[in-house]
Amino acid sequence: MTKAKSNYIIFGLFIGFSLVSLLINFEFGISIWNNFLVFAKDMILILPPAFVLIGLFDVWAKNETIEKHFGKTSSPLRFIWSILLASTTVGGTFVAFPVANALFHKGAKLSSIFTYVTSASLFMIPMTIMEASMLGIKFSAVRLISSIPFIIGGSILLEKVFEKTNYKLPVLDKNS
Would you say residue 176 has pLDDT above 50? no
- Using alpha carbons, list the distances in angstroms from residue 131 to 40, 124, 137: 26, 10, 8
The domain segmentation of the chain, as residue ranges, is 1-46, 61-176
Q: Which residues contact 73 (CB under 8 A, 6 or more apart)?
A: 67
Tell me: the pLDDT tens digits for 54-111? Answer: 888 888 888 898 989 898 888 889 999 999 999 888 777 778 888 898 899 899 999 9
Span 126-152, pLDDT tens digits: 888 899 999 999 999 999 999 999 999
Cα separation, 93 vs 171, whole angstroms:
20
Does 159 have pLDDT greater than 70? yes
